[in-house]
Chain A
Amino acid sequence: DGGITQSPKYLFRKEGQNVTLSCEQNLNHDAMYWYRQDPGQGLRLIYYSQIVNDFQKGDIAEGYSVSREKKESFPLTVTSAQKNPTAFYLCASGQGARNEQFFGPGTRLTVL
């Protein structure tokens, strides 16, 4: 089945540690996105990538980093510079004229 996978579903880290969230898609989509969602809030764009080896900052990129070495993969690193990293992180991919975005199941990160 085609889709987007994110792992793990729940992640706990100590303050000051970097952590990498994985996102893999087998939809053959060119574009991939990372969003952050806080309780009762909409989605805010962290980073996006339109093609391999290229990515751009979204609205809230500070404290995050990404890579796009393969079309299928777009991992997100939450660094110790991110002041409030506890949140629900969603990865998405999209393609085509409409660019409807398909979402992965999300990773809930809790920093203790």
Chain B
Amino acid sequence: GQNIDQPTEMTATEGAIVQINCTYQTSGFNGLFWYQQHAGEAPTFLSYNVLDGLEEKGRFSSFLSRSKGYSYLLLKELQMKDSASYLCAVREPGSARQLTFGSGTQLTVLP
């Protein structure tokens, strides 16, 4: 099984930088995803890490350390539209390659 921990809520100011952490304890690991979910909507894919290191995509970056069971999502130049829930998900090894999701971090961006 998998256990995934994220902070429940975070608040930041427009234009700032925020880091959302995710730690996991798993019996196996085959990749980590970050999704963004606005209230009442479907999650949308942000990033994927399977090897240690930093993946950068525009204002968003994601980091993974497999030895520490740790990932973070870094959001730069925050905008009001970034207010959303950010979900960390770990993929299990095996043919089904299911995702196990954390409870999500609700980010509020203030003007």
Residues of A within 8 A of B44 (CB): 103
Q: Which residues of B contact A (CB under 8 A)?
A: 4, 8, 31, 33, 40-45, 48, 50, 87, 89, 91, 95-104, 106
Q: How far is the CA of A33 from the CA of B42 in the complex (A)?
A: 13
Q: Which residues of B contact A99 (CB under 8 A)?
A: 91, 97
Query: Once bound together, how far apart are the Cα atoms of A41 and B104, in whole Å?
Result: 7
- Shortest A105–chain B CB gap in Å is 5
Q: Mark A27-48, 1 if CB is under 8 A from B, else 0.
A: 0000101010000111111001
Main secondary structure of the interface of A (DSSP, over half): strand
Question: Shortest 4 CB-CB distances between A and B: which pairs?
Answer: A103-B42, A42-B101, A42-B103, A43-B101
Add 15 more A-B contacts to A101-B45, A103-B44 (CB < 8 A): A41-B104, A42-B87, A42-B104, A43-B43, A43-B87, A43-B99, A45-B98, A48-B96, A88-B40, A98-B31, A99-B97, A101-B33, A102-B45, A103-B42, A105-B42
